[in-house]
Amino acid sequence: MKLYVLTGLAFTLLGFMADTYAERPLTSRHSAFQIPEEYLKEPSNIPGFWVSTVEETAAFLKQRIRIGHVEEIGRSSGGRPIRAVTYGSPRQGRGTSTFSGSLGFGDVRAFRGQDHDKTVYCAMAAVHGGEFEAIVGLINLIAVLETGHDLRGKAWPDLAATSARIDRIVLVPIANPDGRSRIPIRMQLHREGADGYKVHEWLNTGAKADGRLIGWPQVKEHIPPDFSQVRFPGGYPNDAGVNIQHDDFLGQRQPETLALLNLATRERPDLVLNLHTGVAMNDYYMRVHRPFSEPALNATFDAFFTRVHTGLALAGLQSTRDPAIEANPSRAPRSAYNLDTAINLHCGALCITIESPSHGYSGTNRALQPARQTPETLLEAQLVCHREAMQFLADTGGRARWTARPAKP
């Protein structure tokens, strides 16, 4: 998901033609795509904690999970498994109504069931396959839940302690394995200036038949696009060409969307983080976005935004270290109707998109000073977000308290 402030530089980039690099064919079930060889160059020293591919993720989940439970929750349009990792005990039994019915009745306990006051935390990454940072963040979060340390060996005692206060944790490291598999690299080479932005966008939102960037938000104009009419469709869509962030939620839904919605029905989460890469280049730091969802959850979102951005600011992961500036919820960009809305209206969870900077290019802070994000700072920001989000859920008690009916006099 891209929510860039388009500067004059960005507008110029949208008009660039593809460079005349030697190109490597990439086969999908639809056609052979051509990616410039230069775009597939990777750093010579990829950090060991940078686990981002479908294959690496599958191997990690198979070999390193001892406490959690790994399950396949569905298959992508291209037939690839979608996996979730769960910790803690799930809600027991079922409610007596649909979520919509429970709102009409005036008490969401009719949907959530007898243990409605349990807290359930959910996070998912790679709804867009070209956005690697959140995959890395979730794999390292899983490492913390398993061992108390991330894959660098850094201990996260507060995060580990907070996770123990949550009844149930559900994590989906790669929600769109088709899109991620389409990009055959572990890590983009960092490039400064226009080249870095161009390569990231080319891989993520794709390229037109003549090689020009499709770009954001133009990538949302055609869902699905005609794969035969593009040079490369990018990591946004699944193999059916659908961007599941903007699926036909009330119509013929994609298998990835159905897997996520079925998971939401089963788990009935309180909080869902939908983790993406794409922040404003002139404020190049993690950013929580305000979802288009139930008005009853607006005050809860404001408190969540304040909590997460305060933690990021105090950790030095915002433009300033001042929470009074960084944690004001009026600064939250507003999302349109998307997957967050669908999940909220499907099960009542507060589903929130959080955007990360990219490791592939740099931006600036709001004072227009350079703000290059290293793999280490990007991982720190991901784990701080999870820590603060879990603490918020544990402290506030979840949906059972967020929208509780006033006690009768």
* DSSP states along 147-209: HSB-TTS-B-HHHHHHHTTSSEEEEES-S-HHHHHTS--SSPPP--HHHHHHHHHHHHT-EET
Residue 192 is predicted with a pLDDT of: 86
**Beta-sheet pairing, 207-208 with 69-75:** unpaired
Residue type, 230: V
Map tokens 């038949």 to a residue: 209
Strand runs (DSSP E) across 205-264, as ranges? 207-208, 230-232
H or E element that contains 356: strand 350-356
Residue 25 is predicted with a pLDDT of: 44
Map tokens 């996070």 to a residue: 123
Residue 194 is predicted with a pLDDT of: 79
Residue 406 is predicted with a pLDDT of: 54
Start-to-end CA span in the chain (Å): 47
Q: Which domains does the chain have, with CATH numbers?
A: 8-402 (3.40.630.10)
Residue 34 is predicted with a pLDDT of: 84
Contact 124, 275 (CB under 8 A): yes
Rounded CA-CA distance 46/39 in Å is 16
Residue 4 is predicted with a pLDDT of: 35
Contact 305, 288 (CB under 8 A): yes
**Beta-sheet pairing, 363-364 with 370-371:** antiparallel
Query: Average pLDDT for consecutive 10-residue bins of the chain (409 residues)?
Result: 36 30 42 85 97 98 98 98 98 94 94 95 98 98 98 98 98 98 96 89 95 93 92 96 97 97 97 97 97 97 98 98 98 97 98 97 94 95 98 97 68
pTM (two decimals): 0.92
A 10 A CB-CB count for 45 gives 7
Q: How confident is the model over 140-154, as pLDDT tens digits? A: 999 999 999 999 999
Cα angle value 395/398/402 (rounded, 5°): 100
CA gyration radius for the chain? 20
A 10 A CB-CB count for 191 gives 18
